[in-house]
Structure 1
Amino acid sequence: MERINYQHLYYFWTVAKHGSISAACEVLHLAQPTISGQLTVFEQSVGAKLLRKEGRKLVLTDTGRAVYHYADEIFALGREMTHMLKGRTTERGLRLNIGVSDAMPKLIAYRLMAPLLRLSDPKQIHCVEDKTERLLTEIGLHSIDMMLSDVPATPASGARVFNHFLGESAVAIFAAPDLAARYRQDFPRCLNGAPFLLPTINTALRRSLDQWFDDKQLSPTIQAEVEDSGLLKTFGAAGVGLFFSPRAVASEIQRQYGTEMLGPAEGVFERFYAITAQRRLKHPLVTAILDNARQGLLDLLDRPG
C-alpha cells in the first residue's frame, strides 16, 4: 500500500482551510517557498492538482475537495487522540455531511433532519446548501453522505447515485395579510394579473405552476423569480407578491413568516427525494432519515387523493 506523507497532507489542509499560502505560513511558522515546495511534492505524489489559482485566491479542485474532506476527518481524529491522552476523553460520535438543494423547502428539510437531533447518541451534523448539480458532484466525491432534493437525480447527471422517494405534498398559495385580503374572493379566478413570486424556470415546481396557470387561464404578474425557497418566502412576507409552498408546512409558514394561506393550487404537488451514493447507504444517520420518512413523513405530508 502506498504511504501518505501526513506532513505534506497537513500543509495542504492548512492552506486549504485558511485560503492562502501566506495565511498558512503564519499558522505554521514556515517560509512561503517551503510550503509551496511541499505542496508541489504532495500533488505529484497523489497524481492530481489539488489547488488552482482564481485571481489572487487559491481554490480547491474537485480532487482537492475530496482530499480536504478526508484530511479534515484524519486531523479531527488526531485532535481527539491528543485530548484522550491528556485525560480529556471526548465522544466524537457519528458525523453526517448532508446537502440540501437550494430549491428544497427548508421547513421540509428540517422535518426530515429534526429526529436526528433527538437521538441520544453523540453526533455531528454538517449541513450545506447548494445547487443540485454541485451537490451531486460532492456525492460522487464522497464529500457529502446524502442530499435532500425536490427532484430525483437522472442518468444525465453522470453521478453513480441512488434516489429514495420520501413523499409529496400538495401546494398552496400564501401571502402577507394585506395582500391576502385583496385576493380572497372568487378564488382562484381573482388571481388573474395578481403579483406573484415564482421559483426559477429550472425548478420542477415552476414547470408545474406554469401548467397550472395555463389550465386555470391565469396570467400572473411576475414580481420576481427566486431560486432559494427561504428567500422567496422572505420576499412574500414583505408583501412583494403571492407565493406557493407545500401545504404540509402551512402552519409553520404562517407562524414563521406572518403570512396567510389563500387556498390550494389544485393538482400541483411537490415531491421530495433523498439521494445517496452506494457507498454511503449503510450510514446509520442516513438510514435514520430514510426510516423516519418511510414510517412517519407521509403523516406530515399530503398525498394526492
Structure 2
Amino acid sequence: MSQLNYKHLHYFWVVAQEGSITRAAERLGVAIQTISGQLSLLERQLGKALFNSQGRGLVLSDAGRVALGYADQIFQLGDALVDAVQHSDSGATLRLRAGISDGIPKLLAYRLLSTVTEMPADVRLICDEGEFESLLAELALHRLDVVLTDRAAPVGGNLKVFSTRLGEFATGLFATRGMAERYRSDFPQSLDDAPLLLPTRHNALRGRIDRWLERTGIRPKIVGEFEDSALLTTFGRGGLGIFPAPLALAEQIAAQLDAEPIGAMSGVSEQIYAISSERRIHHPAVEALCAAAPQAAAEPGV
C-alpha cells in the first residue's frame, strides 16, 4: 500500500466532524469538488467506503468509525507537536500531563498534584481522567507523563510502564453531620443495616473494605456502588449513605462535602501509585510529585 496522504485524511476528518461535504468545504475554504475528489482517493487507497448517505448528510460506515478514531489521535498529536516545538526554547513553562484513574478520590489527587504547582518553575498541569487500562495505553503512547492510580501496573506484557508507590492513606467512613452523629456511637457495630456507598469491585479499595466487613461481622445495607469516586462522594454529600474516604482528607471533606468521619476502618487503606513510561523518572514535576507524596500520606486527618 502506498503511503497515506495526510491531506486526504484531514479532509475526511473534517467531513466526519461536520456531517456533510458542503459544510466541510465552507469550513476549510475549498471547493466541494476538491473534498469529494480527495475523499474518493482516500477510500480507494483504503479499499473501504468511509461514509454512507443518510438524507442530505453523511454518516460514518464501520470502516469510517475505525478511521476516525485513528484520525483523532493523529491530529491531536499534531497539535501537541506544534505546541511542544513552539515552546521548546522558551523554558518558561513546564507541562505535566497527568492521567487520574476514576477510582481515586479527587481530593486526594488534588493533594498530591498540588505539590507540583508549588515548584519554583512555572508549571502547567493538564489532567485527564479515565479507566485504568485506557490511561495506561495513553501513557504508553506518550500522551501522558504520569498516571495516578490505585494499583501497580501489571508485570510483563507489551506495555513498558513502571510503577512507583506514592504511599498509603488510612481510610475511614464518613457521612453528613446528622448521619455521622447517629452512627458514630458504638462504631463499628452501629453500622449493621446502615446505608453504605461503596466503590465497585473494579476498585482495589473495595476488596479491602469487604474483608474488613467480614472480619468485624458487620452487615450494612449497600445502597450504591460507583465506578467514579467523585460520583460516590456526591451521593454521600446528598445524605444517601455512609462513604469511605482517606482520613487525611477529613478537613477538606468537611469543608467541601459537609461530611464528618464516623470512624476508622482498621487495616484498610487507599494505596496510590504513580505509573510512568520510564524506569528512571526524569520529568522534574513527576520527581517532585514522588518526593512530596510520603509527607502527604503521613499528614493526620483526625
TM-score (norm 2): 0.80
Structure-2 separation of matches of 1:119 and 1:15: 43
Deviation of residue 135 (structure 1)? 0.6
Corresponding residue of 2:285: 285
1:68 and 2:67 correspond: no
Distance 1:283 1:204, change over 3 A: same
Contact 2:13 2:71 in 1 (8 A): no
Structure-2 separation of matches of 1:239 and 1:257: 10
Contact 1:166 1:274 in 2 (8 A): yes
Deviation of residue 287 (structure 1)? 2.2
Corresponding residue of 1:184: 184
Distance 1:220 1:75, change over 3 A: same
Corresponding residue of 1:265: 265
Structure-1 separation of matches of 2:224 and 2:94: 41
Distance 1:92 1:71, change over 3 A: farther
1:121 and 2:128 correspond: no
Deviation of residue 120 (structure 1)? 4.6
Deviation of residue 27 (structure 1)? 2.6
Residue identity over aligned pairs, in percent, reads 38
Contact 2:161 2:275 in 1 (8 A): yes
Distance 1:109 1:58, change over 3 A: same
Contact 1:162 1:277 in 2 (8 A): yes
TM-score (norm 1): 0.79
Contact 2:100 2:148 in 1 (8 A): yes
CA deviation string 1:214-269 (max 9, x = no partner)? 10101110111011111111111111000111111111111110011111011111
Unaligned runs of at least 5 residues, structure 2: 52-59
Deviation of residue 189 (structure 1)? 0.6
Structure-1 separation of matches of 2:142 and 2:114: 23
Structure-1 separation of matches of 2:44 and 2:286: 35
Structure-1 separation of matches of 2:36 and 2:272: 45
Corresponding residue of 1:96: 96
Unaligned runs of at least 5 residues, structure 1: 82-88
Structure-2 separation of matches of 1:61 and 1:34: 20
Instruction: State the secondary structure of the residue aligned to 2:239.
Output: coil
Structure-2 separation of matches of 1:58 and 1:33: 23
Deviation of residue 26 (structure 1)? 3.4
Structure-1 separation of matches of 2:39 and 2:94: 31
- AA in 2 matched with 1:139: L
Contact 1:21 1:32 in 2 (8 A): no
Instruction: State the secondary structure of the residue aligned to 1:144.
Output: coil
Corresponding residue of 2:152: 152
Contact 1:139 1:276 in 2 (8 A): yes
Give the length in aligned residue pairs.
287
CA deviation string 1:59-116 (max 9, x = no partner)? 76665454233201233367x59xxxxxxx9876232221100001111111121122
